[in-house]
């Protein structure tokens, strides 16, 4: 196991409290937790593609990061109307 896989595993476990906030806290708090979880997941995808020496898989992270941004913006707009 190299350092990139170790970092991906650690950040993978760090996703658990974020998901806890998303599930248990009120919607506005959950949105903040979702945004941090999205950043973590993008990072994990980069780390895994580097750790497993599978360069093409970094495209997953390149696609996921902007999609997470758009998803968060949509949620934020929906939150205005007491989702």
C-beta of 1 vs 62, nearer to another protein: 62
Task: Say whether residue 19 binds another protein (CB under 8 A).
Answer: no
Is residue 4 within the footprint of another protein (CB under 8 A)?
yes
3-class secondary structure, 31: helix
Q: Does 39 bind another protein (CB under 8 A)?
A: yes
Q: Does 48 bind another protein (CB under 8 A)?
A: no
CB 53 within 8 A of CB 42: no
State the number of CA atoms in the 13 A half-sphere of 25 facing the CB. 14
Site size toward another protein, by CB under 8 A: 44
């Amino acid at each position: 196991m190299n350092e990139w896989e170790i970092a991906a595993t650690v950040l993978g476990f760090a996703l658990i409290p974020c998901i806890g906030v998303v599930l248990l806290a009120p919607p506005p708090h959950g949105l903040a937790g979702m945004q941090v979880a999205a950043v973590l997941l993008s990072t994990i995808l980069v780390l895994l593609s580097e750790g497993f020496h599978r360069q093409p898989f970094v495209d997953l992270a390149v696609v996921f990061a902007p999609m997470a941004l758009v998803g968060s913006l949509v949620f934020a707009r929906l939150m205005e109307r007491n989702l």
